[in-house]
Structure 1
Amino acid sequence: MDIAEIPAVPEWLTEHLRDQGIESLYPPQAEAVERGVTQGENLVAAIPTASGKTLIATLAMLSSVDRGGKALYIVPLRALASEKQEEFAEFEAYGLDVGVTTGNYESEGGWLAGKDIIVATSEKVDSLVRNDAPWLDDLSCVVTDEVHLVDDGERGPTLEVTLAKLRSLNPDLQTVALSATIGNADKLADWLDAELVDSDWRPIDLKKGVHYGDALQLEDGSQKRLAVDRNEEQTAAVVRDTLAEEGSTLVFVNSRKNAEAAARRLANTTGKAVTGEEEERLAEIAAEIRDVSDTDTSADLADAVEKGAAFHHAGLSREHRSLVEEGFRDRLIKVVCATPTLAAGVNTPSRRVVVRDWRRYDGTAGGMQPLSVLEVHQMMGRAGRPGRDPYGEAVLVASSHDELDELFERYVWADPEPVRSKLAAEPALRTHILATVASGFARSREGLLDFLDGTLYAEQTADRRRLETVVDDVIAYLDVNGFLEQTAEGLSATNLGHTVSRLYLDPMSAAEIIDGLEDGEPTPLGLYHLVCRTPDMYQLYLRSGEDEEYTMLAYEREDELLGAAPSEFEDGFEDWLSALKTARLLEDWASELDEDEITETYGIGPGDIRGKVDTAQWLLGAAESLAAELDLGVGSQIREARLRVEHGVREELVDLAGVRGVGRKRARRLYDAGIEDRTQLREADKSVVLAALRGREKTAENILENAGHRNPSMDAVDADEETAAQAREADATEETADDQANLGDF
């Protein structure tokens, strides 16, 4: 279909697409148009990666906005939200306004009312519904990316309930759901009353196969020689072969540790293919990576990147991941070793994909378990970049002839599993039932069940009795804990229940926090431990031998810990200790312990620290609101603990660290130079500020401006010599301490 034939889209779109080199639609895109995606029809598009899903979404949204409506694009990951917002920002040249929202679960996002296209995560949209964002009534089109993630036990129920609520709010809402090829796309289409485009068409071929011995065997029965040199691993041989064709490789492994180790080894292969010019640019990227944090993880990543290799996992900071993704897209980084999270939609295609590890540890099963077909196909779909690669190749790695046969049967020739709703689990329903009642979607048990009839779970389950049993159990729990009231008129949320729903808390987290706050005078460690015990915090695992260490810590500081402690012989004691370990990390962070020391002590990455800090900050903010709601008189203690963990500083630095651009290290340097709060910073001698900030004029100007200094300019300002000398002495002491710590490791 020629783009000029697309009906009901803005007049400028045809020329815009031509400017991008698009003259005609891909077959799945043309089918979507024929099925009415630009004319308000609901649609499920189940097509492979790189087959044009985003343009289908764009056509739906732009045609909807052109008719006077407002469009919402739901993504599963924050990183994807930023990526999509950048893509859609090009439409602002034609008068459209694009916004993105991913954080602050207590906000109604009123500023989004004037936006034409809004990009958000499913959790954020759910919170907007709970907070009665008035502009949701104006939505005319909702697009949900990666809709097959309704099958995910953790995030799926939120996506499922959110779509059901949006469709309930706006009966005429156009729903467009995008997915990789799945086993039951027709059932998703039935649930959403949608037309279906189910296609395996790709703009470039994807060849799937298995490497064994010295041969790559492909799904069509053909083989090609791909020899493994002496003392070379299979993955390195595949990467070397790809480099010979000037291609890039994504290698999927089953753990962070394996991703880092694989990148370290493969750097020896990629380093031989890096040109002189590429070497200079890679050195620049490596320097940026080292600037992000002073951790071993950061240093290891930079070392690999200098040779054209990298690793990518959730332990990296957001800045690390962005630098790796950008370097890979520019083909400066030749190979990225990643955990499966990278397959979830981030735009990082490559010539070849190697699925090295097709099993991963599953704690519920007590051992290594095979990945799902859908997950492996998601990884494989990253192979091949239209316009850059002649084809894509996805390679599994076999270590025996039997495994070769098994991988073909299990993954290469297999169809993806059907997607199944995970809504009927009690933890998922706890939060969604309270929110459904609090936001007025249901006012009785029958009303709840009627609302749930609009979910995928109801579409897939003929027997309503199981859902009724779980709903009754959850209603009883919410009633006992004071979040819901059951009366002759039906169900209603209490004031406390409304607060818990608005705060986007799991009701069990709220019950735990309230119980702890009623226990006595809280300290920072006690508060950190309290929020770390909730279901909303992912706790650190106890490593071998650590149970004894943290049991001793629990006894030493038991007066600070809030709520009743379980017995050492109870099942919950290990979780209590895991929460204490996580709380101790937060206390170390809020005591200004260096980031590299924290990562080494706890065996985590800088991204993990940021994740724990962000979650603790949110939960402590929620605890502050709950304490105010119940008039518990501990708000100031909670606020101090929250601000300390937010900025990673001791109590005396909280005010300084709150100035934009200061942060934990600069706050300490300013404080040591005699500047103790933002008021003093506003009136400070500029030469002292410049010296404390190590002579960085631009940084000093920005910080003084943010503090409200009447003249922040550093023109003709020299750093104060006495302060500079003290700073040099402090730096030397710090470096000596670091050297001694490193020497102590040997």
Structure 2
Amino acid sequence: MYKRKRRKTTQIKMADDSMDLFDTTLNDNPQRTPLRSLSKNVTLALNTQDTVLSMSILDQVKERLRYNQKVHEATQIFVEESQNASLLGGAACDGDFFGLPSNVKDILFKERGIGSLYDWQKECLSLPAVERRQNLIYSLPTSGGKTLVAEILAFKELIVHRRNVLFILPYVSIVQEKVRALANLGIELGFLVEEYAGSIGKIPPVKRKKRPSIYVATIEKAHFLINALVRTQRLEELGLVIIDELHMIGDGSQRGAGLEVLLVKLKKMSNAQLIGMSATIGNINEVAGFLNAEIYLGSFRPVELIEHILVERTVLEVTKSFELRLKRKLTRPTSEEQEKCDPDHVTILVEELIPTSSVLVFCPTRKNCESVALNLSRFLKPELRDFRVENKIGLLKALSAEAGRICPVLRKTIPFGVAYHHSGLTNDERKLVEEAYIVGTLSCLCCTSTLAAGVNLPAKRVILKSPYVGVEFLTSARYKQMIGRAGRAGLDSSGESILICKASTRSSVMKLLRSPIEHCRSSVTLETLEALAISVVGMGVVTSTAGLEDIYRESLFCQQNSERDASELVHEVIQSLEAEKLIFVDEKGKLTASPLGRASFKGVVEPHRVTSLHRDLRMAMAHLSLTTHLHLIYLISPSDMEPSRLDGMLYMDLYNELTEEDRQVAETIGITENLVVRLRLNKPIKDHERKLLSKFYVTLQLNALWKKQNVWQVADRFEEHRGSVQNLLSMATVNAMSISQFCSDLPEFWALRDLLPSFVNELSHCSSMELMKLMELPAVKRGRARQLYTAGYRKVSDIAKADPKELVEKLDHMPCNVAAQIVAAAKHYLLKKAEDLQEEADQVLQSFITV
């Protein structure tokens, strides 16, 4: 009873917040008469509450259904008027913008400043393949405007065809950026934007009648989403799937293999149109054959790119025929100390442009990023400290907001307009550094190669400090991605790249410059094929070996490995899955998934992990202690997350700090005092014991976060990068959701099925309760949530009602465009919550009144 009452109170409060937002919107927009009428209807319903209460229950339900229908009709009128009239000029829409109402063009100009499209974009959007809804792959250099084409196609699917869209992106940070960027467009154009990354995203998604949705998802969460839509027989709701960075299917990682498997399932089970985009696919014809897709190739760049190499102090330009010609000599004198600390002369190359133009310096390692940034702060002109002083002070305050402290390297470099950017930063720090770079507070970033495939941070000049990434020589694809950041459309007529190399590596560098883009090779392994088999058999898509062979033949792996016959692969996979008792084969050859097999695909758990996971869960159920959270945290700790090192002395200290209850959990798991002592004394330890120690070590990090220690404190205590600690938290939340789904159809794990979802939700935020709601907004992490809360924005509705200018004034280093995005995201969040509650209420009432 208590739980039901609390949920009802929460829903009423959510509805109140949503109505406050609608009232504010109405006051600002008196011409939107349908919603004004809707607001009056709501008020009338509330005023006649006594009359309604006097009715019978059945009459009350009928009255509520009639009222909901009026609300729906009023909302539909509003949506239709929005689509049939320009929100800027009020002119009727003539549908001349690539099949979209012309107000879409006006809104793009208002929201993005896009007045017209490039010629190639118009050509691509007018392709017969697009009109016929065929699959399409298009490839152009970085910064050519590929994303806008995908977005316009998405708008057409959402607005004209009224079907949902799935937008697949490689990283959580890019998903959050895209969600925030689309929020206001969703409000204006009548669709919902739903984030699927980390622990965020409802599985299965809410079934909506009124508005279509665009699901913005990582590869991992897209798997959960597609599987859920298939299980609930709702895959036809999906009309378009967009895959950014399509070349990742060939990156050799589990992520690339997962993307290929996802695309195979979509090809076989869905009628959705597939749109793939990339700047670096060498064998695009082969990949297009895999996707049954048409191809559009282009070489357009909004600004010219001029490539150079630097050998000692000589800058050589790379001609179009890949010859070298002398461009200039670096003649600026340097001190003996500078020559020793900066032998590559990065300082000279940076100082030539900043602070009026921007520079990206790609470094081979994370440590080198920080070292280069510190050297720049030592040798750059002192007068750079006087540029945008107030903005830099605001940035430093914002960076320290999360933990009351700031990275000592950033404290030294930011006054010069310089910062480093790599995975060792927290999400908050990365986002603030990126925003500061975009608005010009920072003019130089020292970064790793991952930034090239991440958010859009262009520069006038891109410097590659070395032809290596770590210890590996650059590939052509990675090189093209990095130099593709050079050139800022609308600001520069050209961009330039400078690759620094030694005389001894010059010939290797020239070979790199002349090399074509590498071919995209399938990342699929036998284990991946087992996961694909479990998935399609478990969902009932395939019931025979012949059907499974057809699925395998659809994969890029089989198309590229003609020596591996599909029938041989199926035989090998079925044998393995039968041995693991994940698939049954009857006497007629029919394939069915066992309960454990169905749990495997539902939780997207690799088949080779199922047995050990099932064993761990059974042991946990037999010995689960709820006097402490440690056992639950251990269960959701990722097994493949290796700590940077295991220090025996530190491990012993951590073990001795455990409470009595936590030690009992450790004993149950297998972490005994004897084992920890052997680690401390550097005695021989078996492989399985080391894996156990590693997993418990990351468990202790998560346990510290659970106890509200911040990322800085945990990183210091465990001698890890703070970004690595935050990445661990992100992986743990995804793993927890996977285990929760795994347990959902296994009755023996009923307790974990009920415990894990709410546990995961709180763990994913690891923050005080008052900040958790604010942190549900995309890209609002702990530091920014704390700033908003301190500034008086205690609820999402407070932010939704705010003027973006207020946020700029009240928060440290809040760019105008970011403030506008956060306000739009808050409005969108409330709108989605309100519609979710309305949908739920309608379903309950419709099921109740059947006479």
Fold conserved (TM > 0.5)?
yes
Q: 1:279: how far off?
A: 1.4
Match of 2:531 in 1: 431
Greater shift, 475-484 or 206-215, is seen at 475-484
Q: Distance in 2 between the 1:217 and 1:546 partners?
A: 52
Superposed displacement of residue 273, structure 1: 5.6
- Per-residue displacement from partner, 1:120-145 (whole Å, max 9, x unpaired)? 22222211111126553122222211
Q: For residue 582 of structure 1, report the CA deviation from its aligned partner.
A: 1.5
Corresponding residue of 1:129: 226
User: Residues 175-213 of structure 1: CA distance to partner in whole angstroms, max 9, x if unpaired?
Assistant: 221001321112122222222122222121111221112
Please tell me the residue identity of whatever aligns with 2:532.
Answer: H
Given the alignment, which residue of 415, 421, 425 partners 2:516? Answer: 415
Percent identity, please. 21
Report the alpha carbon displacement of residue 563 of structure 1 after superposing the two structures with TM.
9.8
Name the SS of the counterpart of 1:99 in structure 2: strand
Aligned-CA RMSD value: 3.9
CA distance in 2 between partners of 1:647 and 1:387 (Å) = 39
Q: 3-state SS of the aligned residue for 1:402?
A: helix
What residue is the counterpart of 2:732 in the other structure? 616
Are 2:151 and 1:58 aligned?
yes
Q: What is aligned with 1:521?
A: 623
Quick check: 1:534 aligned with 2:646? no
Provide the rounded CA distance (Å) in 2 between the counterparts of 1:490 and 1:295. 62
Alpha-carbon shift at residue 59 of structure 1 (Å): 3.4
Contact 1:292 1:320 in 2 (8 A): no
Gaps of 5+ in 1: 362-367, 650-655, 665-692, 706-746
Task: Give me the TM-score of the superposition, normalised by structure 2.
Answer: 0.68
Q: Please list, as runs of the form range in 1=range in 2, the aligned pairs for 1:568-717 lying within 5 A after superposition.
A: 568=684, 570-591=686-707, 593=709, 595-620=711-736, 623=739, 629=746, 631=748, 635=752, 642=759, 646=763, 657-658=768-769, 660-661=771-772
Task: Tell me which residue corresponds to 1:677.
Answer: none
Report the AA paired with residue 704 of structure 2. Answer: D
- Matched position secondary structure for 2:254: coil
- Seen in structure 2, the aligned counterparts of structure 1 residues 633 and 184 have a Cα distance that, compared at 3 Å, is closer
In 2, Cα distance between the equivalents of 1:201 and 1:419?
22
Moved more, 187-196 or 144-153: 187-196
State the Cα deviation string for residues 152-189 of structure 1 (Å, max 9, x = none).
21211222122222232333x32221001321112122
Instruction: Measure, in 2, the Cα distance between the counterparts of 1:44 and 1:110.
Output: 30
Write the deviation string for residues 24-46 of structure 1: whole angstroms up to 9, x where unpaired: 52336525534543552332111
Instruction: Supply the AA of the counterpart residue of 1:80.
Output: I
Whether the 8 Å CA contact 2:730–2:764 is kept in 1: the answer is no
* Structure with greater proportional helix content: 2
1:444 alignment counterpart: 544
**Worse overlay, 254-263 or 619-628:** 619-628
1:653 aligns with: none
Does 2:224 match 1:224?
A: no
Shift of 1:287: 0.7
| Aligned partner (choices 668, 678, 690) of residue 560 of structure 1 | 668
Partner of 2:371: 261
Q: CA deviation at 1:521?
A: 1.7
Partner residue, 2:168: 74
Amino acid at match of 1:316: L
Which among 117, 133, 152 is matched to residue 40 of structure 1? Answer: 133
State the match for 1:49 in structure 2: 142
Q: Give the corresponding residue for 1:117.
A: 214
Alpha-carbon distance, 1:107 to partner? 0.7
Q: 1:216: Cα distance to partner?
A: 1.6
How far apart, in 2, do the equivalents of 1:270 and 1:643 lie?
Answer: 47
Cα 1:494/1:275, change in 2 over 3 Å: same
Name the amino acid aligned to 1:559: E
The equivalent residue for 2:844 is: none
Give 1:506 deviation, angstroms: 2.9
Provide the C-alpha distance between the structure 2 equivalents of 1:432 and 1:304, rounded to a whole number of angstroms.
49
* One-letter amino acid matched to 2:168: I
Contact 1:589 1:645 (C-alpha < 8 Å) held by counterparts: no
Matched position secondary structure for 1:51: coil
Change in CA separation of 1:643 and 1:128 when aligned onto 2, cut-off 3 Å: closer
Alignment partner of 1:166 is 2:266:
yes
CA distance in 2, matches of 1:110, 1:92: 17
Match in the other structure for 1:12: 103
Q: What is aligned with 2:348?
A: 237
- From 377, 384, 387, the equivalent of 2:487 is 384
Q: Does the residue aligned with 2:307 lie in a helix, a strand or coil?
A: strand
**Contact 2:468/2:474, CA 8 A, preserved across alignment:** yes
Measure the CA separation in 2 of the matches of 1:106 and 1:4: 34
Distance 2:667 2:632 in 1: 12
1:319 alignment partner, SS class: helix
Q: CA deviation at 1:111?
A: 5.2
* Distance in 2 separating the partners of 1:47 and 1:387: 19
Structure 2 residue identity aligned to 1:117? I
Deviation at 1:110, TM superposition (A): 1.6
Give the residue type in structure 2 aligned to 1:76.
Answer: P
Q: What SS does the aligned partner of 1:211 have? A: strand
Distance in 1 (CA, whole Å) between partners of 2:104 and 2:773 is: 44
The code of the aligned residue for 1:585 comes to Q
Deviation (angstroms), 1:617: 4.0
TM-score by length of 1: 0.77
Aligned residues of 2:385 and 2:415 also touching (Cα < 8 A):
no
Amino acid at match of 2:623: E
Offset at residue 418 of structure 1 (A): 0.6
The alpha carbon displacement at 1:214 in A equals 1.5
Distance in 1 separating the partners of 2:250 and 2:763: 33
Q: Structure 1 pair 568/437, CA: closer, same or farther in 2 (3 Å)?
A: farther
- Give secondary structure in 1 for the equivalent of 2:515: coil
Deviation at 1:22, TM superposition (A): 3.5
Letter in 2 for 1:292: E
Distance 1:577 1:584 in 2: 11
- Residues 247 and 126 of structure 1: CA distance in aligned 2, closer, same or farther (over 3 Å): same
Say if 1:15 and 1:182 are closer, same or farther in 2 by CA, change over 3 A: same
Seen in structure 2, the aligned counterparts of structure 1 residues 89 and 37 have a Cα distance that, compared at 3 Å, is: farther
In the alignment, which of 462, 465, 486 is matched to residue 353 of structure 1? 462
**Is this contact kept in 2: 1:514–1:627, CA < 8 A?**
no
Conserved 8 A contact 2:282-2:518:
yes
Q: Which string of whole-angstrom CA distances, capped at 9 and with x for unpartnered residues, describes residues 510-533 of structure 1?
A: 432321233352455455445446
1:487 aligns to what? 586
Structure number with higher relative contact order (C-alpha < 8 Å, ≥ 6 residues apart): 2
CA offset digits 1:74-97 (Å, max 9, x no partner): 211222223333444454465331
Instruction: Name which of 343, 358, 369 aligns with 2:452.
Output: 343
Question: Could you report, residue by residue, the CA deviation over 1:214-256 in whole angstroms, capped at 9, with x for unpaired residues?
Answer: 2221211332233463324222222112327x32111122332
